[in-house]
Amino acid sequence: MSNGYHIVVCGSLVPDPLQTLEPVMAPDGPGLKNEAMLPSVLDPWAAHALYEAAHLAKRVPDSKVWLASLGPKPKLQQLMMAVAQKAPFEFVAIDGSASGFADSFETAQALAKAIQSIPGLDRDRMLLFGGCSSASRDAGTTLSMVGALLGVEDQFLAVDEIEPDADGGFRVKERVEGAQYLVSRCAGAPAVLAWATGNLPEPPNNPQIGMANMRGILPALAKAPSVGALRGGLRFESVETPSQRRETRVVKDAGVEEIARELAEWIRG
Amino acid sequence: MTDPNSGATKPTLKTLPGDDVRQILWRYADRYDLQMVQQAARSVARGIVARLVADGARHTHEWTPEKQKLLEAMDEAGLTAVAIDPEHGGYIPGPKNLALALVAFELSWVDAGAATATLAGNLALAPIHERGTPEQVARYMGGAVPAGPGEDRRTLRGAFALTEPIPFVGVDTNTMAGRVRVAEWKDGEEPMLHVDKRGRFITNAAFANFACAAVASDDARIKGSCMVILEDTDEGVWDPGSPTLKLVHQLSATNDPIYSLKVPASRIIGGYTIQDGVIVPNYSHSEVIEAVFRRTRVTVGLMTAAKLLSAVEPIIRYHRQRFRGGQPQPGSSRYELGIQQREDALHRLIDVWATGEAAASLGFYTARLFDEFDPLEREKDRLLQERGIKGARAQMKAFAAVKDAALEFIRLEHLPEQKRDSARYEELKADSLVQFAVKDALSQVFCPATKLWNTGVGANTMREAVSLMGGYGITEDCPGFLGQKWMDAQLEATYEGPEAVQRRQLTVTMVNELFLAQFRHWIRQMRQIASRKPGTGACTLATAMELWLWTIEFLQSAQDAHGETLYHGQRQGVAFPMADALSWLLASRQQILDVLELEDKGGHNPLLADGLEGTVAFLTDLCHVMAARASGEVGRITAELVYGYQRHPSWDGDCDSCFKASELEAVASLVPGFDSSPLEVIQDDGGHADKAGPCVRFPGMERFRALRLKLDGCLTGCRLAKDRAAEALTQVMIPEALDYPR
Ligand SMILES: Cc1cc2nc3c(=O)[nH]c(=O)nc-3n(C[C@H](O)[C@H](O)[C@H](O)COP(=O)(O)OP(=O)(O)OC[C@H]3O[C@@H](n4cnc5c(N)ncnc54)[C@H](O)[C@@H]3O)c2cc1C
C-alpha cells in the first residue's frame, strides 16, 4: 500500500492588497468599492500552503495535491492563469462568494462538501492545508471548521514547517507568542495544517506547468457547483475603513487584567 | 460624470483597465496559453527585473553576474522557450508572434532592456527558424530550450550579427565588410569556410555561444552573400569584444565582437548548392534578414507602447498626492486632486494615454496579422516550390498573375454577404496564393508602420510623460522608471532599423495596389462605424483617410515647380512624411476597432459587467482624441506636400486672378459690386497688398481644398471628448502603490 499524502489545499482569491480597498454598503450587503473589477491574487496565507504542499508532495513519493477554491467562477479562472503555473495540482472549484463579508461557517460547509466528493481522495491519507487566516476576512476560523466537519481532529493552526518522518508521522512547527515555536509530533494523516508563512519562496511561474494544470482546471470550473453569497445569519449594520489612531502611555508593572480592562474601556470610548 | 445637456450622470472609468479588458481589446481572451505566458513574463518583470533596476544594475555597461541571473529567471519562467516550436522542446504550438509580443510588452512595462535580452535571443534564432535547413532548425532551436534538470548540455544562446563598425553596415546593409572564403575543399568532402566578421552594437554578444553573421563572398568559389552560423567552439578567434557604452537598455548586453573562424559550409543558413564548382547559398543575407525583421520589428514597437501605458498610474498617483503637505484637509480638492486640479496636466496625460492605447492596438494587431500570415507564407513557399518557381523575378511574375484575383477577393470581402457571389468568394478565400498576396500587402505596411509610429511618436510622447512628473521624472528613483523609459524609447526607434528604414519600406509598400484597395474599403468602414458610434472619431478619421488617399494619388502623378516627379523612392521629402501620416491613421483606426471589440464582447464576461459601460465610454473618448490628433497630422502633412512643391504666384506677371485697378473700375461700372468681391488688385503703379503674392488658387485641387475644409469641421466635439476623459482621470480608482519597486 502506498503511503504518500493526499494534500488538499483550501485557498481562494482576495483583492490584490495593493489596491485601494474601501468598504461600501450595497443593497445586497457589504462589499468593497469596485470589488468585481479589482484584480485578485491567491490569498497570501493559502498561497504559502500551496507552495508547501507542492514541496511536500515532491519529497514524499506517491503524494498528490488538490487545490479547493471557493470564489466567483470567472474570477477563479482569471486567477488560475497565474496560480496554475506555480505547482502541479488538481483543481476543485466551487462557485460562490469569496468576499470578506461571507460567513466562514457556510464557507467551511461548502468546502467540506466539495472535498468529500473529490474522486480518488483517500481521507485517511489526507492533509488538509490552507491559510491560518485570510487576507480578506482574517477570522482564522475556516480551516479548523472544514477539518471538524470532515472529522479531522489533529489540527495545527499557525504552521511554519512540516518535517515528515520515515514512519509516516511528521513533526510540525507552529508559531506561538514572542517569535517562539511550538513543536509537535503527529503520528500521521489525517490532519489539518493551517499555514502562517512557511519557509518557501514563491515558486517562479512556469507556463508549462500551467498548461498541464489547465487541462483539469477548465473542466473543474465548468462543473463547479454554485453556492451563492454565503451570508449565513450574518447582518452588518455598517462598514467603514478603520481610521488609524495611536495613543501611547508608558506604565511600569501593570497587570494583564488591568491592561485588558483599560483597553476595553478605550475601545468602548 | 454629469452630461451638460441632460444633467444625467454618465458612467465613466472606475478602475484602470485590467487584464480582462486587455484580453478582449488585444484578442487573446480565449488563449489561455498566452495569458499564462503573459503572467509569467509579468512576474519576471515586476520581480527580478524591477529589483535589478531599483538596485542600480543599469549603472554599468558590463554584463554582470546579477544581470546573468535575469537570463536564468527567464529560462525558469518559460520565457526563453516561448519562441520555440513544441517539436523542438517549446510549448506553444503554431505561430508565436502574439505570444512574443505579449512577453516584450510585459517586460518593457518595467524595463525594455530585459525585453531586448529575450528579443535578441529570438532574433538570433529567427534566421534559422525562417530560412534554416531542417538540421539547423533542429540543432539550434532545440539547443536554445533551457536544459532541464539532469540534462547534461549547455543552453545555446545566440546573437544576431549584422551591423558592422563604421563605415560599413548600418541602415544600408549592402556595404558589408564581413567576409567568407573557402578555407579547404577536399574532393568529395564538405567545403570548410573561413568567416571574418566584426560586429558593432551586437546584442547578447557578451554571453552568446553562437552567432548568425551576415557576410559577403571574398572568393570566386562562393556566390554573393549569405548568413552563416558561428559557434564559440569553432577553430579561430571568438572575441566577444568590448561592451558598447550605451545610455539605454542596460539590462541587455551589447558588444562589438570580433569573429575569425573556420566553419563547415553546412553552417550557411538555408543551405547551398554547388554549381560549376561554385558554392551557391540558397539565400542571400538580405533575403534572410528580410524574413527576420518583418516579424521582430513588431515586438520592438510594443516595447514603447508598454512604456506609455505604464506611465499612466504613476503619474496619476504623483499628481494626486502632490499637495498634501501643509494644511490641506483630506476631502478638500487640493488634498485629493493635487496637480489634477490643473487642466493642462490632465489633458497632457490623456494625450500620453491615448498614444499608448493606439500604439498597443496597432502593435498587437500587427502581431496577430503575422500569426495569420506565417502559415500562409509557408504554404506559398510550398506551392511555389511544387510549381518549380524559384528566384525573386519568377516569384514576382507568379504574383502579378494573382493580383487581379486578390483585388477581386478584396472587393467581394467588403460586399455584404447577400450581395456577393459566394461561390467565387469561397473559391478565392481557399486560394492560398491569393490569401498570401492580400495579407502580404498588409504585413508589408503594418510592420514598418508599427515600428515607425510606436517608437518614433512613442519616444516623443514619453518626453511628455516625463515632464508631467516634474523634476522627479528625470531622476533615477522616479516611480515607474519614466526617465529611463524615455531614453530607452530612442533605442527602440533605432535598432532593428531606424525610422528611415521603416519609412523607406513604406514608400514602396503603401502604394501597392493591393494595400490601397483595402485602405479604400476602410474609409467606408470608418463612416459606417461613425454612424453607429459617433463618439469614436471614426468620421474624422475617415475624412483624414480620404485626404491621405487623394494626396498619395496626386503625388504619384504630379510634378513640382521644376517639372520633377514628386513621388519616388529617392524623394524622401515627399514619401517619408506620407509614411508618417499613414502610420497615424493606421494607429488611430486600430484603436477604434479594438474599443468596438470590447464593447461587443465585453458583455460576455461577467467580471466586466460592473464597469464595462464606463470603460468603453472612456476608451471611446481616447479614440476621439487620437483621431483628432491623427487627422491634424495628416492635414498638416498633406497640405505641405500638395502646395509646398508649387511656386507661389508673384505680383510680377504670373497671376491669373489679378486685376489692374483701372480694369477693375471699368468692370465695376458695368457690373455693380464687382470691385467688392475678393479679388487680387494691382495698382497702376505696381503697388499691391502687403503679402508675398496673390493668394494661391490651383486648378484641380478643389477636391483637396474641400476635404481640408471638411476635416476642420470634422474635429467638432473632439475637445469635449478630451474634457470628459480628463475628468475621468480625476475620478478613476488607482492602487495604493505601484506593484514593482523603485
Ligand atoms: C543597443 C543597440 C543594440 C543593437 N543590437 C544589434 C544587434 O543585435 N545586431 C545588429 O546587427 N545590430 C544591432 N544594433 C545596430 C542597429 O541596428 C543599428 O544601429 C541601426 O540599424 C542603425 O545603423 P547605424 O547606427 O549604423 O546608423 P546609420 O546607418 O549611420 O544611420 C544614421 C541615420 O542616418 C539617416 N539615414 C541613414 N541611411 C538613410 C537612408 N537610406 N535614408 C534616409 N536616412 C538615412 C537616418 O536618420 C539614420 O538614423 C544595435 C544598436 C544598438 C544601439
DSSP string, B246-288: -SS-TTS-EEEEEEEEEEEGGGBTT-EEEETTEEEESS-HHHH
Q: Hey, are the CB atoms on B733 and A34 less than 8 Å from each other?
A: yes
Place of cell 470603460: B615
B316 Cβ contact partners less than 8 Å away, ≥ 6 residues apart: B340, B349, B729, B732, B734
Task: Look at residues B269, B291, B290, B267 and name the one whose alpha carbon lies nearest to residue B128.
Answer: B269
Between β-strands A90-96 and A13-15, what pairing exists: parallel, antiparallel or unpaired? Answer: unpaired
Averaged pLDDT for residues B669-695:
82
Averaged pLDDT for residues B292-319:
96
Question: In the numeric block, which cell numbers belong to residue B449?
Answer: 508602420
Task: Look at residues B136, B117, B139, B119 and name the one whose alpha carbon lies nearest to residue B128.
Answer: B136
B321 touches chain A (CB under 8 A): no
Question: In the numeric block, which cell numbers belong to residue B172?
Answer: 544600408
Place of cell 487640493: B334
% pLDDT > 90, chain B: 84
Confidence grade of residue B672 (pLDDT, cut at 50, 70, 90): confident
Mean pLDDT is lowest, of A17-21, B187-191, B407-411, for: A17-21
B43 touches chain A (CB under 8 A): yes
Q: Which residues of B touch A205 (CB under 8 A)?
A: 36, 39-40, 43-44, 77-78
Confidence grade of residue A121 (pLDDT, cut at 50, 70, 90): very high
pLDDT for A110 beyond 90:
yes
Mean pLDDT of chain B: 94
Instruction: Please write the tens of the pLDDT for every residue from B554-607.
Output: 999 999 999 999 999 999 999 999 999 999 999 999 999 999 999 999 999 888
Instruction: Please write the tens of the pLDDT for every residue from B83-121.
Output: 999 999 999 999 999 999 999 999 999 999 999 999 999
d(CA B466, CA B482) in angstroms, rounded, equals 6
Q: Go through A237-252 and write b for each residue having 16 or more CB atoms within 10 A of its CB, e for each that does not.
A: eebeeeeeeeeeeeee
In one-letter notation, the amino acid at residue B335 is Y
Distance B444 CA to ligand 1 centre (A): 20
Write out residues with Cβ below 6 Å of ligand 1: B 120, 160-163, 170-172, 201-203, 246, 249, 254, 491, 494-498, 500, 504, 572
Q: Which domains does chain B have, with CATH numbers?
A: 19-144 (1.10.540.10), 158-289 (2.40.110.10), 294-645+713-729 (no CATH)
Give the HSE-up count for residue B17: Cα atoms under 13 Å, Cβ half-sphere: 24
Q: Hey, are the CB atoms on A210 and B36 less than 8 Å from each other?
A: yes
Q: What's the pLDDT score for residue A1?
A: 41
Instruction: Please write the tens of the pLDDT for every residue from B356-391.
Output: 999 999 999 999 999 999 999 999 999 999 999 987
Q: Go through B84-103 and write b for each residue having 16 or more CB atoms within 10 A of its CB, e for each that does not.
A: bbeebbbbbeebbbbbbbbb
| Higher per-residue pLDDT: B439 or B2 | B439
Distance B174 CA to ligand 1 centre (A): 13
Q: What's the pLDDT score for residue A251?
A: 76
- Model ipTM? 0.88
Instruction: Please write the tens of the pLDDT for every residue from A7-40.
Output: 999 999 999 988 888 899 988 889 999 988 899 9
pLDDT for B4 beyond 90:
no
Q: Which residues of B touch A201 (CB under 8 A)?
A: none
Q: Hey, are the CB atoms on B91 and A211 less than 8 Å from each other?
A: yes
Q: Which atom of ligand 1 is nearest to the CA of B171?
A: 29
Instruction: Determine the distance in angstroms separating the CA of B99 from the nearest CA of chain A, rounded to an integer.
Output: 12
Q: Which residues of B touch A81 (CB under 8 A)?
A: 19, 32, 35-36, 38-39
**Residue B739 CB neighbours (<10 A):** 14
Q: Hey, are the CB atoms on A18 and B608 less than 8 Å from each other?
A: no
Q: Hey, are the CB atoms on A211 and B36 less than 8 Å from each other?
A: yes
Q: What's the pLDDT score for residue B649?
A: 86
**pTM for the full predicted model:** 0.94
B16 touches chain A (CB under 8 A): no
Q: What's the pLDDT score for residue B668?
A: 80
Instruction: Determine the distance in angstroms separating the CA of A8 from the nearest CA of chain B, rounded to an integer.
Output: 24
Between β-strands B192-198 and B254-264, what pairing exists: parallel, antiparallel or unpaired? Answer: antiparallel
Q: What's the pLDDT score for residue B506?
A: 98
Q: Go through A86-107 and write b for each residue having 16 or more CB atoms within 10 A of its CB, e for each that does not.
A: bbbbbbbbbbbbbbbbbbbbbb
Between β-strands A191-195 and A226-228, what pairing exists: parallel, antiparallel or unpaired? Answer: unpaired
Name which of A36, A208, A218 is nearest B610 (Cβ-Cβ). Answer: A36
Query: Which CA distances in Å does B545 have to B236, B578, B589, B627?
Result: 57, 12, 10, 11
Q: Which residues of B touch A39 (CB under 8 A)?
A: 18-19
Q: Which domains does chain A have, with CATH numbers?
A: 6-228 (3.40.50.620)
